[in-house]
Amino acid sequence: MNYIDWTVITVYAAGLVWLSYNLSKGQTDAKDYYLGGNSFKWWQVGLSTMATQLGAVSFISAPAFVGLREGGGLQWLTYEFAVPLAMILLIVVIFPPLYKSGVISIYSYLERRYNSTTRKLLSGVFQFSRAFAAGITVYAVAIVLEAVFQIPLWVNIVITGVIAIIYDYMGGIKAVIISDVIQMGILFLGFLFCCYYAFDLLGGWENFTANLDQDRLTAVDFSNLGIGSGQEFGFWPMVLGGFFLYASYYGCDQSQAQRILSSMNMKDVRKALLFNGFCRFPTVLLYCGMGLLIGTLAITTPSFFNQIPEGQSDYMVPVFIVEYLPNGLIGLLVAAIMAAAMSSLDSALNSLSAATVQDFVLPGKDKDEMTDAKQLALSKKYTLIWGVICVILAFAAGNIAPTIIEAIN
C-alpha cells in the first residue's frame, strides 16, 4: 500500500463522517434516531439489509470456501435457496403485527403478548450476543488486514470502531442505512474488480475452465441428509438450517428488524423483504464466481498459493488484492473490507442502544419527565457506550476461543 491507497481510505472515512453530520440535522426524538421517522423507501432498506448480511465474511471467507477450502465449492449457494422461504414467513406472519404495533424495540412487543420479564430476558440475550458478535467481526477483519496489509491490529480495530461510532452517534439509523447503501455499492464494485483482474490473469475463459476443479461446481446434493461426518453442506441441512437462520436473523434480531421497521409503510416492508429474497442470490452468485476465479488462479500460480498460510484459506482474497491489483484500487478494496465490517458494527450499535434504552432505561423513568430531547440524548449516550464496549470486546476477542469461528459461535 502507498499514499494513493491511504488517500482513498481517508477520503472514504471523512466522507462517511461528513454525511452523518448532515443527516443528523432535524432529529427531534428517539423515533427519528432509531427509525428515521419511518421515511425510508423499500430499496434503501433492502440494500442496507443486504449490506449487513453481505459483510466481511462474504467478501473474504465465502469466496475462499468456494474457491480454495478443502471440501468447499458452490454448495454454499444452497443456503440462498432458503432465503425466499424465510421472507414469506416474515411477510405473512412476523412483520404485519410488528409494524402495526409501532414499536422501536421488537422485544417490547413481547411484553404486550406475554410480560415484562419475557421482554427483558430476550432483549438482554440479544444485547449480550450482538455486542460480542460485533466485537468479533471487527477483530476478524483486523487480523486479516494486519497479516496481509501490515496494518497493526490495534490500528485496524480503532479506525474501524471510531469511524463507525462517530457517524452512528451523530446520524442514527439514517446514517446506518444511507452509509450501508454506499458500502453495498463499494462491495459490489470490489467483487467486479476482483473478478475482472482474476479472469484476465488466468488468460481467459478457456484457461479458466481447463484448470477449474470441476468438483467445486456441484451446487445441489439432494442425497445428502446432513447425517454423519463430511455431510454438513448438503442440500437438506443447509436449506432447513438456512430457513431458521434467516427467519430468526431478519425477523427476531433487533439489528435487522429495526431497519425494516423504519420503512415508510407496510407495502415498503414487503417490497424490502422480497428484494432481499430474490436479489441476494445473484449477488451471492457473483462473489461465489469470484471465489472460483481467484481459487483457480491460486492453484495454478505457485507464487500466489505459497503466500496463503496452510489451512487458512481466508487469506486468499486479501493476498490477491495486495499482490495483483494496482495502487488506488487496493485502497478502495481495503476500504470495502473495512466497510463490510462497519456495516455490521453500525447496525449493531444503533440496535443495541435501542434495546437498552427502550427495554431497560425508559420503563424505569417518569414518562412526563422524559421529553423528546431527553430521549434523544439518552439514545446517543448509549450508542456511544455500546460503541466503546464493542471496541473493547474486539481487543479481547482473540482470547475467547482458539479460532474466530469458535469464538463467534
pLDDT tens digits for range 53-98: 776 667 777 888 888 887 777 877 787 888 999 999 999 999 999 9
pTM: 0.84
Find the Cα–Cα–Cα–Cα dihedral 103, 104, 108, 112, rounded to 10°: 0
Helix (H) or strand (E) holding 70: none
Find the Cα–Cα–Cα–Cα dihedral 368, 371, 375, 381, rounded to 10°: -110
pLDDT of residue 235: 80
Q: How far apart are CA 125 and CA 98, in angstroms?
A: 19
> With bands split at pLDDT 50, 70 and 90, how would you rate the model's confidence at 406?
low
pLDDT in tens, 223-281: 777 777 766 667 888 888 889 988 998 899 998 899 899 999 999 999 999 998 888 88
- When the pLDDT of each residue in the chain is averaged and rounded to a whole number, the result is 86
pLDDT of residue 127: 95
Instruction: Between 90 and 188, name the one with better pLDDT.
Output: 90
Look at the block and give the residue holding cell 411484553.
111
E strands along 1-135, which residues?
Answer: none
When pLDDT is averaged across residues 345-374 and rounded to a whole number, the result is 88
pLDDT of residue 408: 64
Residue 242 region by backbone torsions, left for phi larger than 0, else alpha for psi between -120 and 50, else beta: alpha
- For residue 263, what are the β-bridge partners? 40
Cell of 32: 427519528
> With bands split at pLDDT 50, 70 and 90, how would you rate the model's confidence at 10?
confident
Alpha helices for 24-106 (secondary structure H): 30-35, 42-53, 56, 62-67, 82-89, 95-101
Cell of 315: 487469506
pLDDT of residue 392: 92
Q: What does the DSSP assignment read for 206-221?
A: HHHHHHS-GGGG----
Instruction: Between 146 and 383, name the one with better pLDDT.
Output: 383
pLDDT at 407 over 70: no
Instruction: Between 30 and 312, name the one with better pLDDT.
Output: 30
pLDDT at 403 over 70: no
- CA gyration radius, the chain: 21
pLDDT at 41 over 90: yes
Instruction: Between 399 and 305, name the one with better pLDDT.
Output: 305
> With bands split at pLDDT 50, 70 and 90, how would you rate the model's confidence at 409?
low
> Phi and psi (nearest 5°) for 400?
-75, -40
Closest CA to 187 of 304, 55, 357: 55
CB 261 within 8 A of CB 35: yes
CA distances from 48 to 40, 80, 239, 253, 311 (A): 11, 18, 24, 15, 33
Q: What letter would DSSP give residue 97?
A: H
For residue 179, count other CB atoms closer than 10 A to its CB: 27
pLDDT of residue 384: 95
Q: How far apart are CA 79 and CA 76, in angstroms?
A: 6
- The most confident of the ranges 95-99, 142-146, 161-165 is 95-99
What single letter denotes the amino acid at residue 66? V
Look at the block and give the residue holding cell 493476498.
319
The vertex-216 CA angle with 214 and 218, nearest 5°, equals 90
Q: Which of 93-102, 164-173, 178-187, 347-356 has the lowest mean pLDDT?
A: 178-187
pLDDT of residue 96: 95
Q: How far apart are CA 165 and CA 163, in angstroms?
A: 5
Q: How far apart are CA 279 and CA 87, in angstroms?
A: 12
CA distances from 166 to 26, 175, 383 (A): 17, 10, 10
CB 350 within 8 A of CB 258: yes
- The most confident of the ranges 132-146, 223-237, 291-305 is 291-305
pLDDT at 308 over 70: yes
